[in-house]
């Protein structure tokens, strides 16, 4: 079971001229879902982040 929420503007919504957004993926193994995605250029993924601020 996987639940996806967002996108939401990040707390610091613009950093070094780039806009930042949060998408939350929750489930027993969300990293497996993300591993199969082809991310657009410039996107980064933080699996199990310490903070979302």
Give pLDDT tens digits for 10-44. 888 898 988 888 888 888 887 787 787 888 888 88
Q: For 30, phi and psi rounded to 5 degrees?
A: -65, -25
Q: What are the domain boundaries of the chain?
A: 2-35
Kindly report the pTM of this predicted structure.
0.60
Contact 3, 10 (CB under 8 A): no
Strands in the chain per DSSP E: 2-15, 18-27
Q: In the structure encoding, which two tokens stand for residue 32, read together?
A: 């497996």
């Amino acid at each position: 079971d996987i639940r996806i929420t967002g996108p939401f503007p990040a707390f610091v919504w613009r950093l070094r001229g780039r806009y930042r957004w949060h998408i939350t993926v929750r489930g027993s193994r969300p990293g497996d879902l993300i591993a199969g995605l082809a991310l657009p250029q410039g996107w980064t993924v933080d699996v199990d982040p310490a903070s979302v601020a």
